[in-house]
Amino acid sequence: MTPQAVTAEPLLQVRGLCKTYSDRRWWQAQFLLTALDNVYLAIQTGRTLALVGESGSGKTTLAMCLVGLEQADSGEIWFEGKNLLAQSGRNRAAVGREIQLVFQDSTGALSPRMSAAQIIEEPLLIHRQGKRKERSELVLEMMAKVGLSPKWKDRWANQFSGGQRQRLAIARALVLNPKLLILDEALAGLDLSIQGQIVNLLLDLQESEALSYLFISHNLELAGQVADEIAVMYQGQVVERASPTQIFMHPRHPHTQTLLAAVPPRLAYSAQSGG
């Protein structure tokens, strides 16, 4: 799918991104698995792009490439006018602070050997940001900002509920003051009421912090509730990209139609009507 025209320079542009993995077992010949196949997408400042698709469609691989945890084979990743794949290690790390990733599994992503304060502070230590007092104050500010009591700063991660751990993960991601937050199935596995609370938190943070989001999900209904635009991935490609209303009312690609068929009619109507 080719990129669409936009009215302003996007915060993030992905152009022709490709990524393959090789797999070889002793009983068979080596073969290549295509994870990303000529991917194009763009995210405007202060907007939310939802990336939806079934498991194995390439969504997480794309997220890993964007934050530098995987290296793309070819293509370009432009962020604020800079091609990240052309940056040196130090420059890439500096720009990388502006893009943060929140995973689905907060239990696995947050160290059980660290307190809430240590978890949030760790990115500041890694990037050598601020003095001890400044870091401590910022940690408490971040906890309050995501709806966690600063009194809980000495609690271990496993003493928080699932929704609270995701708030903790979001605080950790925000402590470096990024411009783009990638949420990789960050609401999956949470109760619907907790999902709603986290969605409201994300919308409030987006408004107050001028954040942009890449919201990755297999849940088309949820994507329709939070996104300004939806991109559908299938077999490593973005096969359709449009507003939630267009996706729900006039899906073009067969895979989009398949995803939409799994959404209960009442929920599909609510999503397309903005309710």
Residue 91 resides in a domain? yes
- In terms of domains, do 267 and 187 share one? yes
Q: 151 with 228, same domain?
A: no
User: What's the pLDDT score for residue 1?
Assistant: 46
Per-residue pLDDT of the chain (275 residues; tens, 9 = 90+): 444 444 578 999 999 999 998 876 655 656 678 999 999 999 999 999 999 999 889 999 999 999 988 999 999 999 998 898 888 777 777 777 899 999 876 666 788 889 999 999 999 998 888 899 999 999 999 999 999 999 999 999 889 998 999 999 999 999 999 999 999 999 888 898 999 999 999 999 999 999 999 999 988 888 998 999 999 999 999 999 999 999 999 999 999 999 988 877 654 545 555 54
Choose the final residue of a domain: 121, 154, 177: 177
240 and 188 within one domain: yes
Q: Name the domain boundary from 143, 158, 177.
A: 177
Q: What's the total number of domains in the chain?
A: 2
Which two tokens mark 7?
């009215």
CATH code where residue 72 lies: 3.40.50.300
Structural domain includes residue 103? no
Residues of the domain holding 57: 1-98+179-275
**90 in the same domain as 30:** yes
Residues 214, 263 within the same domain: yes
Are 205 and 79 found together in one domain?
yes
Distance CA 48, CA 214 (A): 6
- H helices of 71-114, where? 89-96, 106-109
Global pTM value: 0.88
Query: How many residues in the chain?
Result: 275
Flag whether 40 is in a domain: yes
Please indicate, yes or no, whether residues 140 and 184 belong to a single structural domain of this protein.
no
Q: Give the per-residue pLDDT at 85.
A: 87
Give the angle 8-79-44 at the CA atoms, nearest 5°: 35
Distance from chain centroid for Cα 171? 14
In the prediction, which pLDDT does 27 show?
58
The answer as to whether 147 is a domain residue is yes
- Decide if 35 is inside a domain: yes
215 and 153 together in one domain: no
- Whether 163 and 240 share a structural domain: no
Question: Which tokens go with 97?
Answer: 């602070």
